[in-house]
Structure 1
């Protein structure tokens, strides 16, 4: 017999926030995207706070003083995540019994995703010739992961899609050939899509008063968006003619999301909700009946809460939560060995400790507040790279890096199968003319084998567990060009 479903809509900001937190990017730790410059990609993301590059508008505004002419730059990085899962999804009908939920391994959750960025830098003239103004549009966080329908981790994640776009407006001033400073304001927009299946049968069977009659699974897909403002500031020093040191600080940016979700629930479940509402009302009346014993009233109150959540859940409502994107501190060094060879080094700290947990509240009093633990830590990135100028027309570059993951083996989820990674990169530039440059780069990101061990935890809304390992890597292909006039 054909199984039919009925769709309902539900406003759920908080779940959209959770999606933003855990939907990750395999090319950088957490859900950070550093690929905003093809030249930087070719050096394994080094030189970001000192190099003559349009991305300095957001990476370190002080480095805009490297430009003596107006410059327009456009880059596009294609990030391709290739990952696979080997393990099992399960639930525990008793404390000592595990039962498989069935399903496949999810396939490859990643796909080739284009991440564009563009910048504009303009030196002023006359009495303000030491000043540079800049603007850029970039995507600092997010990527898309999507698993095959019916996979064994479907109750943890089906689709996770995060799009964060920054408009950065910056200014810099060169006090002397040895000292430059700069600062900018960041206007950030974040959009999130999150989906997972709902184990309705397991939720019902986990009650102390089983309702029997299986109803089938549901599904929801949630979206949320928000605008927020942050800042970036930096300094660039030239202690010697052939050595440049840059430092930049990007502030945290706090988001308050509002969103909606499409619920697809089985008719067999939605048809029972009026009856569940009646049972919840009867249990609430019993909880208020002073003729019953305290134990009986407490039991009735718990039943009223559980029945109310089922009877009044999956309906239109409003929720609230917050997400703070991390502060980022970067130190870069460039050392020109001679006219043809320049070495670069970067150390970057990302303040992921802002993602300790996510607290989710709802206007619907039957929807309990949810706290999901992440316990992320601050991370470090280390990289070295080099430019090799073959002649006036062609420059080659290469680099290696090591990037730490903010998550841990206890709290890792399939939305972010993240772990420490090694980075290898190569690229080059073709100076078509004195004003036009074409850039290209390739970066390989090898991710350490990633264990997942999430036990069922009904208190966090996780009725099934997932245990196994992710293996994978990411390939980044980047092309760009800049024009000066």
Structure 2
């Protein structure tokens, strides 16, 4: 393959990843990076159980399984549902203890999205493979009306990431392959909420100001992995994605500010926030029971305990600092799956997974009303020609109902002025994916 063809293929991968990508996920992670992997609920993905280059997102060493050169493009429709079933809010005793009025019929606060991912692997020789990928590994969108009852805790949350990853794999010997890659990650975040400025005036609820914060940053990290294949029918893979730290910088804009406050409350100001995406470790296994039937499993650990608080510092002394306690805990994901080659051209897939939420009841917020979830997936792959394969997958994710029990008890606490909020959500997610693979 000529150098200009390699550059063109890489550009196609990067261009695909620039499409919008955001959705409600476990925490704010987006596992939906491979449609062939989705068919088994991502069981065995870090051991290359899906059979194509998209497994390199989870373990770059699996590029060693690719024969020749390969381009993979995926699109996954993510349809989360998070309906507010009930909600009530009250000001703290120090703020008068009055009921906070507002809408509770806000419906589904999560937004649908299409998440693309692209991969290209170039074979230098039998031992060395070079690759590049474009993904949106982290993201979420939740959106409420500005007059809902929990508006002081959050209105709109929009997090988007675009991750570009050059990588390589090298076969050390016939049973061991290692891989390494670089992460170049752009993050953009938007947070909106309503502030009860009437508290400062001694008249709670008399003046609601809307604040919108937008910031972005570029961060860097790496990926690494190993693939061990003691038998032609058996593989074990271990993949690692590093943390990526972002120093988000942007602006805050305040709406509905009366002219009388112009001298003490700026209409706009700078804003900064530091956030770090968690490390992820994936362990997968793949075993062929026969020429047609294979089984696989996956265990994944995510270091969510990095996320202790959401803190935003403002350039204006009048605005100070905004802080929200998160106190997330590390989470685990488990999956089992199977593939069956119905014919030489058609492969069928199925899988089940359990995805643990990092959020406890005491710290759940309306920005991410997440809970534990169970995955059920089916999928299929069909070889249109010897060089082209199409894959499809469908997943229904059963998400436990989630509750909020946020309290405002102290004028100096993290929820000071926001009031106490109690709410219950009904949740589920549907995923529909399509993928094209071209080998040459």
Question: Are 2:432 and 1:480 aligned?
Answer: no
Answer yes or no: is the 8 Å Cα contact 2:33–2:135 preserved in 1. Answer: yes
CA distance in 2, matches of 1:170, 1:216: 53
The Cα offsets for residues 239-289 of structure 1, whole Å up to 9 and x where unpaired, read as: 22211000011111100000123321243xx32444xxxxxxxxxxxxxxx
- Cα gap change, 1:408/1:334 in structure 2, threshold over 3 Å: closer, same or farther? same
CA distance in 2, matches of 1:319, 1:162: 16
Say which of 426, 431, 435 aligns to 1:471: 426
- Cα gap change, 1:462/1:406 in structure 2, threshold over 3 Å: closer, same or farther? farther
The corresponding residue for 2:166 is 169
Q: Which has the higher helix share?
A: 1
Question: Are 2:33 and 1:39 aligned?
Answer: no
Question: Are 2:370 and 1:418 aligned?
Answer: yes
- Cα gap change, 1:439/1:99 in structure 2, threshold over 3 Å: closer, same or farther? same
Offset, 1:197: 1.8
CA distance in 2, matches of 1:214, 1:169: 52
Larger Rg: 1
Question: Are 2:141 and 1:186 aligned?
Answer: no
The Cα offsets for residues 146-202 of structure 1, whole Å up to 9 and x where unpaired, read as: 12342212222221111111000100011222100000000000111121122222x
CA RMSD across the alignment: 2.0
Question: Are 2:99 and 1:99 aligned?
Answer: yes
**353-362 vs 254-263, which moves further:** 353-362
The Cα offsets for residues 52-98 of structure 1, whole Å up to 9 and x where unpaired, read as: 32223321111001011100000001101112112333233636944
The corresponding residue for 2:109 is 109
Say which of 252, 265, 268 aligns to 1:261: 252
Aligned-partner SS, 2:62: helix
Answer yes or no: is the 8 Å Cα contact 2:87–2:424 preserved in 1. Answer: no
User: How many residues matched?
Assistant: 414
The unaligned stretches of length 5 or more in structure 2 are: 1-20
CA distance in 1, matches of 2:417, 2:63: 49
**89-98 vs 52-61, which moves further:** 89-98
Question: Are 2:156 and 1:204 aligned?
Answer: no
CA distance in 1, matches of 2:220, 2:205: 48
Answer yes or no: is the 8 Å Cα contact 1:134–1:171 preserved in 2. Answer: yes
**47-56 vs 174-183, which moves further:** 47-56
Aligned-partner SS, 1:140: coil
- Cα gap change, 1:365/1:463 in structure 2, threshold over 3 Å: closer, same or farther? same
The corresponding residue for 1:135 is 132
- Cα gap change, 1:88/1:68 in structure 2, threshold over 3 Å: closer, same or farther? closer
Answer yes or no: is the 8 Å Cα contact 1:156–1:462 preserved in 2. Answer: no
The corresponding residue for 2:121 is 121
- Cα gap change, 1:105/1:340 in structure 2, threshold over 3 Å: closer, same or farther? same
CA distance in 2, matches of 1:355, 1:380: 16
The Cα offsets for residues 22-61 of structure 1, whole Å up to 9 and x where unpaired, read as: x9954x4200001011011111122221223222332111
The Cα offsets for residues 402-452 of structure 1, whole Å up to 9 and x where unpaired, read as: 011111111110000011111110010111011000000011111111110
Aligned-partner SS, 2:36: helix
Answer yes or no: is the 8 Å Cα contact 1:383–1:402 preserved in 2. Answer: yes
Answer yes or no: is the 8 Å Cα contact 2:196–2:204 preserved in 1. Answer: no
Answer yes or no: is the 8 Å Cα contact 2:23–2:113 preserved in 1. Answer: no
Question: Are 2:230 and 1:239 aligned?
Answer: yes
1:356-371 correspondence runs (5 A): 356-371=308-323
The unaligned stretches of length 5 or more in structure 1 are: 1-22, 275-310
Aligned-partner SS, 1:77: strand
Offset, 1:462: 4.2
Aligned-partner SS, 1:437: strand
